[in-house]
Structure 1
Amino acid sequence: MRRWLRHWPHLRATFVAFHVLAVLVLSLPHPASLKRASDWQRPQVQARFARLSGALRGLGMTLEDGALQRATWSAAQSYLRVRGALASAFEPYARAAGFGQGWSLFLSSGREVSRVHIELERNGRFEPLFVRGSREHRWLSRELDGDRMRKLFGYAIRGHDDAWNAFARWAARRAAHEFKDATALRVRTFVYDVPPPHRPRDLAPDGPPPVGELRREIVVPLGPIR
């Protein structure tokens, strides 16, 4: 026993070092979008590759069309393979110890911003009720500007139809009882590129309307709800 006690400081230091190494390796980001070729073909991603390729050509580099994307894709797949091999050595310990991280934190800086638009149909025309971030269209802003709603909007944008449809039905029920002359409620989500530093007001509530990509849309008739 005394022999074990003499070695305990070294054993403890070894275990702590192993645990820290396991946490560091398992914390290496591995976003699913890196291995989905369809995500690399999104217009926003293609536009970024085009801008970066143009900047590199401006520095005198010779690049064929698509060369930068192919090189980045190859590097990303190599990184994922190496990360997977390293992580596999520590995953049994992580499961046994009961620690882990279910999502990537601070993986990269966001290059897109989304806005939810809720519009009411009267006399065949839609008018805005709520626009996230707007100072003018503030219907149900106390509920819709909450942090929990931000998470729900994120689910909707990423394609979770159940969350999106449930939110639209909830908003439609509120609108049906509050606006008796309305015939439908439309919920849409637009995604915009983050403006460059020299145009910070492009996405300001009182700035010019940005040109965004319509990502999701649903129209709920209000008559059957009443």
Structure 2
Amino acid sequence: MNWKQAPLGPVQTNAFVLYNEDGEAIIFDPGGDSEPFEAALKKENLKPLAILLTHAHFDHIGAVDHIRDVFNIPVYLHEREAHWLQDPTKNLSVNMSPEGVTARPAEHLINGEQSLAIGPFAFRVLETPGHSPGSVSYYHEPTDTVFSGDVLFQSGIGRTDLPDADEATLLNSIHQKLLELPEDTSVACGHGPVTTISAEMDGNPFLNGLGEGG
């Protein structure tokens, strides 16, 4: 199994595509550029099985309906953000355009930490709130990767100056959930370059008392 990173949408949010040798795939956070993203998936002869959302802010959901309709696949989202897909105020797109960014409800709601199996793919779902109340991270042991959305970045952490965000909660999520993963785990972030748990343990100023929240 392997994965690819695809910055999409108005703020170049990282979508990730995890796939196996048979072309079966899981899509994380398709944030926009619906038609080019569809074309790229088809060019690679990939067969998506599901969309997994780390959370429901607008920049992570812009291509959700297009991709799920084209490939006829379900969407997974934490239940704490069950209504955010339809609510431009909650997903923070209310000021972007008259209609904002919306998507239909998710077919599957995540409730609590759990193992999640979709076809040949198996994940450990970690609740990692703080940037948003329903933020989750998907740990994929076969590739030593955690798909973490906007929780932990290279030398940074997710914004906590947003509605429903809380810095203490976010830092607790990082320390209690992500930093407990093997140190060689790749962190597939929602923005910017991929990093590793060990690199952030050693050098992230926000985790060592040197950074400022935001």
Give the structure-2-normalised TM-score. 0.24
**As a proportion of its length, which structure holds more strand?**
2
Q: Which has the higher contact order (CA 8 A, sep 6+)?
A: 1
Give the structure-1-normalised TM-score. 0.23
Select the structure of larger CA radius of gyration.
1
**As a proportion of its length, which structure holds more helix?**
1
